[in-house]
Structure 1
Amino acid sequence: MSVASRERPIHTAPRRSAGNTPRLDGRASAALMLGGAGLFVFNVLFGPIAIVLGLRAARNPAGGRFGRIGGRLGVTLGVLDLLVWAVLLLVRLRGDGLSWQFGG
């Protein structure tokens, strides 16, 4: 009997049933993605969208535990987006010379 012909059991994690799987609501995941991206680009656009989607996800009882947490985090990131935008705007208006340039 060769080593290659021996059957070895494959150890895998136990499977969860479909009703037991923790899920993240689509609105919550969209709020998280837009809120995170808004910290770097399009703050004034992505921030309010993340806030609205996050509030809807947090209030949705069918979203489950992770949908509510994701919604709250999306709202938090959306508010941070608007704060970053406000700081950048105030620094620019004061004339302190903050500028982003690409390509020279």
Structure 2
Amino acid sequence: ALRLGRVGRKHDYPPYRAMGPVTKLEYESRQERYDEQLKRLLEIDPVGMSTEEKMNQLRRYREAQYELLMDAVYERRGWDANSIPTVEKLHELGIDFPEVLAVIEEAKKKV
């Protein structure tokens, strides 16, 4: 992906649609489920909140959880916070060739 120009964390996010209810109608069609998630995961009482407020709270929570997941995956793979392999990881894999290091350095300039 680096050589194709897909550099950085921004390319690792799922589509907006995949992060939860997108429309008011969608939330309300599964309101019991989503309200339960607000209570259980965020410890928020949804009573009295508008559907839009509930959607925003749930989306912020899911996006924050996804950020934590990306951080954990990057660390486990030996990447930096921008999803670029570290020089140490390249050395560990035995692929720290000058041409590979040059690709990494160019990628770092793009983020």
Q: What TM-score do the two structures reach when normalised by structure 1?
A: 0.35
Larger CA Rg, structure 1 vs 2: 1
Question: Which has the higher relative contact order, 1 or 2, with Cα contacts under 8 A spaced 6 or more apart?
Answer: 2
Structure ranking higher in helix proportion: 2
TM-score (norm 2): 0.33
